[in-house]
Every structure is written in structure tokens, then in C-alpha cells.
Structure 1
Amino acid sequence: MFDPADRVPALGALRTAVHARDWAAITAHFDATAEEDDRPADCRVIAETPGAETFLREVVRQRPRDPLARTLLADRTIQIGWGIRTAAGAQHVSRAQFDQFFAHLRVAEQLLIEVCAEYPQYSLAWYLRVITARGLELGSSETRRRYQRLAEHHPHHLPGQMQLLQQLCPKWSGSWEAAHGFAQEATAEAPEGAPAGALVAIVQMEQYLELRKKENDTAAAGYLREPGNHARLLDAARRSVLHPAFRTGGAPAVAAHSAFAAAHSAAGRPADAAPHFHALLALGNAASEVPWGYLGQYDHEAEFVRHRKLALAAVPAARD
């Protein structure tokens, strides 16, 4: 349920095309993806395919000005670099790991700089440059600048907003004031029915995770149960994923409903989580690893299934 290529036939076919080195099929897939918010998930399927870099380097050699080829190679390079760094805290990453991590990100950055210069409206490249800015430790101002370039052409781009939010959290030298402020601001500025409200759930889960690490599960759950946090979460859902204008399909819908379901579940509110679990079932039994990995560090799928069972028991599906 957490691997989109396993549950979305088009993404499974995209992964197959990578293994078959079928550039025409890959191009056709991206040409058929109408929503810019969906493209990062498509891109990630390729970037997480082991060995894809060999094929993508050959495509770039053959098509040196193709923005898609360079962007996909950049994302695969980022993924390789992040795999070397690992998700461990900086204090647990060796100097050699950091050196290799930065080297990979600089290669990716150069590819993306060229794409952005030649194609200023190319959302995938700007989205990835928000990620490389964080990894290369370029600071919040530069990361915000890159997000703003993305937003100039593609406002309310949820994947880009989620990446900027990571930069604004304390773990990347930000602050809770900045992170919560951005989530509230993005939600307020987005049209009703846009998925930006999920940022409110995500930033609450980020603070929940920090409290779990620094204090304990009781303190973390207590934070989520604070009346103000609960009210903000409900309001954000009403404005976004539960609004009649919300686009119910695509990767942003999965990410947004997953975030709300996780936040309510971690707070012990199965009835509030239920509408989001029902929506995820309608999306093909889907879920996103972030932020479910925050609840189950070692088996987030088991945590997802357990909380979904509680929520669906609290609020069963409506009968026709």
C-alpha cells in the first residue's frame, strides 16, 4: 500500500519501462500526466529504481537538451546520495558519507541549474532544487527562493510545499514558529479544496516526532490532543481534503489524507481519522510513508493497518 507502483497500474508500467530502457514509454507517461502535483511521484518511481542511473545517463548523452532526461537523472543521483547519507541524524553520519552525499547533490544541482535556466517553468526541476538546497545546507532563505520560483509558475504545489516545510523545521536549522507559520499561511492562501491544508497535519506530526524522541510517547500524544492543535487540524481538513472542490485523485490526495489520518490516529481520535481512511481506501488502499513512518519506526505498515481498523470500526462506511 505504501509503494505507488504496486497499486497504480500506470506507475507500475512506468517502472517496467525503466527496466526495459524504453524512453518512448517514459516520455509518453509524463506527457500524459496533466497535473504538475503528480509529477514528483512519477519522478520518484524512477529515481528509486536501482540501476536506473545507467540508462538515464545514456539517454542524457543521446538527448543532452532534454529537460525530462536531465531531471530524472538528477533525481536518481539525489536518491543515491541520500542513500549514502542515510536518514540518521547528522551526528551519526561519517565525514566520508557526507562527502559522497554532497558530491552526488552537486552533480544533480548542476543538471537542474541548466534545466531551470533553459526552461524556467519546469516544475520538476525547481521542486528538486528545493531538496538539493536543503541537502547542500544552503539555508532557509535560498530554499524559500527556490520554492518561490516554483510557486510563480505552479502555485500551491503540495510536493514543493512539503519540501520547504522540512527545511523550516528545527531539524534542518529552522524553528517551530517558522514551520507552523508557513503551514498556516499556505493553507490560508490556497483556494478552498487545494491540498495545502495537509501541511498543518504534517508539521504537527513533525513536532510529535521530536517530542517522542526527546520526551516520550505520552508527551507527544498530549501535544496533538491540545484543543488548539485539534481545532487547527479540523479546520485545515475542512478547507482542503474534505472540501467539495478537492481533487480526489492523484498523489497529493494520498499524501494529504495520509497526513490527516496519521495525526488524528496518533492523537487517539479514530472517529476524526475515519473520513481520511475511507478516502484512502477509495484511492486503491493507498497510503504514503510520510508521516506514517513517524508512528511505526520499524513497521509503519502494521501501524497504518491497526489504526485504520480502529477508525473504520468507529465510523463504518456509509451504505447506499
Structure 2
Amino acid sequence: MTTTAGGISGAPDRSAPSRSHPSDTHPDLVPLREAAARGDWPATAAFFARLDTEEERSFASGLLAEVDGVEGYLEAASADHPGDPLPRTLLAERYVHIGWAIRSRAMAEHVSREQFTSFHSWLRRAEQVLIEVCAEHPASAHAWTVRVTTARGLELGAAEARRRYDRLSAHHPHHYPAQTQLLQNVYPKWGGSWEAAHGFARECATEAPDGSHAGALVATAHVEHWAELEGARRATYLRDVAIRDDLRFAARVSVLHPAYRPRFHGTGAHGVFALAFALGGHHADALPHFRELDAPPPDSPWHYFSDPPAVFAKYRHAALSAARGESR
């Protein structure tokens, strides 16, 4: 399938080059990046100890999981500190990342039997670690979040994924990283439906405290829905006034609310709102989100384009022009 700077045709371009690293936006992530490069467990543990929230810990864990080779020092740390849930949970998430890289982001029909076998093997390794961690530390938001992901990859079903999310939310309601993972579980491509996906996203946005990141789930679900459509349906989907109003509400109660305090997830949240509004031609609505961004966020829906920076620049210019009252 081919993607262009101005639009998308067919499936998203999963081969698009990587963009900026989150530490470019958040310099306080640099020590984690450096500790991972050195294989330095004490520095890694000290970094996580300084984080204020469970959302930040989940975000940082996801970054660490992307670093090639970190499983070596995480395995050693897990053996050296058998009672500590942190190295084991970080290791499990690294195993999940390894497995998913083998599977690739391709649709199931394009994944070989050998890829699936290896993918499931890595996820089962992660599961064995996480089962122990969750038994010993049932309030661990970090471990349960990763288990929501493994439930999807191991095709354990929507009910089991929701059970794991509910176990987490009983201790940590409105945990955005877990919500993003469960949202994936209820997409049609994983056996769910768009009705379920939009319903869950709105539920999260409505029930979360004002100023949380949960509203970004509404934008994420709409962009994912848009990407699955074709032709005229895709061209008009995000232009729908009801969807525009849905996005406006979600932005107003989350990243545009006076109580909002930006942290690690803020760039991605603003990024998905910027894209959703821009694709719908609602450039004035997109503007406050573009003002928070210097480039398309990594690991966001901007990967649907073969040249994310060019698309980002195009839509950012349109938003700025709308602010000046120019017609686009």
C-alpha cells in the first residue's frame, strides 16, 4: 500500500522512519536512556524511584523496553533482587517488545506461522514473570498494564483483557497507559467493534478527573477508525460535526483543561488531537495542540504517513493560517 505526504491510501505505512525520541522533548528522560546504554541497574532503579506517578513509570518502562539488549542486565537484576517487582516487570515488558517486533505490525494474514510461534513464545515468557509479580503485588499498575497487552497478543479474549484491566483499576482508576492498551483490545481487528471502542474511550474521558490524559483516547479511536475506512467514507468521516464535537469535548476535559499538567504522555495526547482535527479540516481546533508540538510525536498515529514531518508541517501551517483568518 502507498502513503503520501498529503494523505493515506490503504494500510498505514509501518516502515516509516523513526522520528524524535521522547527524551528530546523531556530531558528528564535522558538519565534512563543513558542508564540503559550502560546496562546500569542501580541508575535505572534510581530513575524509576524518582518518578511521581504510575503513569510516568509505565511510560518510562515502555521506552526502556525498546532498547536493544537491555534484557541482559534486566535478567541479572531480576536474579539479584528476587523480591523486587521492578526489574521483573521491566524485563517482562522487554520480552513483550521483542515478541511484538518479531510479529511485526502487519495484519495477521501477513504474519507467518514461524513469526506467530516466536511471538507467542516471548509473550508466554513475559506472562510467567508477570503472574508471579501480580500475585505478590496485586496493586501493581505497571505489571497489570503489561498483562493487558499480553492478553491481546496471546488472544485470550476480551473478557480476560477486561478482567485484568479491572484488577488494575480497582487500585489505580483512570490509569491512562492501561486504558490505551485495553482500547486496542476492543478494536475490530482484535475481535471487538467500533461501537465498543468509541464507547470505552468516551467512558474513560467522562469518568476521569478533569485534566487527565483520558480524553486523548477519544481522538485515538476516531483516528484509528478513520484509518480503517476507504474512499469517500474516509474522506468525510472526521469532517462529521458530531465527531468534531466529540473531539472538542474530549480535548476540553483533558489536555485543554486548566487542571491539566503536561508530562510524558502530553506530547502524544496533543499529537493525536492535532491530527484528528486536522484530518477533519477543523484547523482552528487543531491549533492549540500544534502549539504544544515541535514535530510529529513518535509512536503516534502520525506513523500512518510515509513522511510524517511533511504532513505535520502541512497541517501545522493550515492551523496557523486559520488563526490568521486565511482560507485554506
User: What TM-score do the two structures reach when normalised by structure 1?
Assistant: 0.91
1:72 to 90, 97, 112: 90
Match of 1:162 in 2: 180
Identity value in percent:
50
Match of 2:269 in 1: 256
Match of 2:8 in 1: none
The CA distance in 2 between the partners of 1:132 and 1:6, in whole Å, is: 29
- Contact 1:84–1:100 (Cα < 8 Å) also in 2: yes
One-letter amino acid of the structure 1 residue matched with residue 249 of structure 2: D
The CA distance in 1 between the partners of 2:312 and 2:59, in whole Å, is: 20
1:93 to 105, 108, 111: 111
- Contact 1:4–1:286 (Cα < 8 Å) also in 2: no
The CA distance in 1 between the partners of 2:126 and 2:73, in whole Å, is: 16
- Contact 1:289–1:300 (Cα < 8 Å) also in 2: no
Q: Which deviates further from its counterpart, 80-89 or 18-27? A: 18-27
Asked whether 1:292 is paired with 2:302, we answer yes
3-state secondary structure, aligned to 1:156: coil
Evaluate the alpha carbon distance shift between residue 265 and residue 185 of structure 1 in structure 2; reply closer, same or farther with a 3 A threshold: same
Match of 1:278 in 2: 291
Q: Which deviates further from its counterpart, 251-260 or 43-52? A: 251-260
Asked whether 1:53 is paired with 2:66, we answer no
Q: What do residues 166-210 of structure 1 show as CA deviations (whole Å, max 9, x unaligned)? A: 110101100011111111111111122222111111110111010
3-state secondary structure, aligned to 2:292: helix
The CA distance in 2 between the partners of 1:119 and 1:232, in whole Å, is: 38
Query: Which residues in structure 2 correspond to 1:121-132 (within 5 Å)?
Result: 121-132=139-150
- Contact 2:216–2:254 (Cα < 8 Å) also in 1: yes
1:219 to 224, 233, 245: 233
Q: What do residues 58-104 of structure 1 show as CA deviations (whole Å, max 9, x unaligned)? A: 11121222211001111111111001000000000011100000000
One-letter amino acid of the structure 1 residue matched with residue 292 of structure 2: A
| CA displacement at 1:310 relative to structure 2 | 2.4
Q: What do residues 287-315 of structure 1 show as CA deviations (whole Å, max 9, x unaligned)? A: 24322123x1x222332233223223333
- Contact 2:26–2:264 (Cα < 8 Å) also in 1: no
- Contact 1:201–1:233 (Cα < 8 Å) also in 2: yes
3-state secondary structure, aligned to 1:165: helix
The CA distance in 2 between the partners of 1:251 and 1:173, in whole Å, is: 30
The CA distance in 1 between the partners of 2:309 and 2:146, in whole Å, is: 27
Asked whether 1:133 is paired with 2:146, we answer no
- Contact 2:36–2:70 (Cα < 8 Å) also in 1: yes
Higher helix share: 1
| CA displacement at 1:10 relative to structure 2 | 2.3
Query: Which residues in structure 2 correspond to 1:182-197 (within 5 Å)?
Result: 182-197=200-215
- Contact 1:18–1:46 (Cα < 8 Å) also in 2: yes
Q: What do residues 83-128 of structure 1 show as CA deviations (whole Å, max 9, x unaligned)? A: 1000000000011100000000000011111111111111110110
Match of 1:268 in 2: 281
The CA distance in 2 between the partners of 1:29 and 1:286, in whole Å, is: 26
Asked whether 1:172 is paired with 2:165, we answer no
Q: What do residues 21-64 of structure 1 show as CA deviations (whole Å, max 9, x unaligned)? A: 21111111111110211122211221111111111111112122
Asked whether 1:207 is paired with 2:225, we answer yes
Q: Which deviates further from its counterpart, 149-158 or 4-13? A: 4-13
| CA displacement at 1:246 relative to structure 2 | 1.2
| CA displacement at 1:271 relative to structure 2 | 1.4
The CA distance in 2 between the partners of 1:231 and 1:179, in whole Å, is: 17
Asked whether 1:310 is paired with 2:323, we answer no
- Contact 2:41–2:73 (Cα < 8 Å) also in 1: no
* Alignment RMSD: 1.5
| CA displacement at 1:12 relative to structure 2 | 2.0
3-state secondary structure, aligned to 1:225: coil
3-state secondary structure, aligned to 1:177: helix
Unaligned runs of 5+ in 2: 1-18
- Contact 1:204–1:263 (Cα < 8 Å) also in 2: yes
- Contact 1:222–1:267 (Cα < 8 Å) also in 2: yes
- Contact 1:140–1:168 (Cα < 8 Å) also in 2: yes
- Contact 1:2–1:289 (Cα < 8 Å) also in 2: no
- Contact 2:296–2:302 (Cα < 8 Å) also in 1: no
User: What TM-score do the two structures reach when normalised by structure 2?
Assistant: 0.89
Instruction: Kindly indicate whether structure 1 or structure 2 has the higher relative contact order, using CA contacts under 8 Å at least 6 residues apart.
Output: 2
Unaligned runs of 5+ in 1: none
The CA distance in 2 between the partners of 1:286 and 1:38, in whole Å, is: 20
| CA displacement at 1:219 relative to structure 2 | 2.5
1:14 to 16, 32, 40: 32
Evaluate the alpha carbon distance shift between residue 50 and residue 158 of structure 1 in structure 2; reply closer, same or farther with a 3 A threshold: same
Match of 2:5 in 1: none
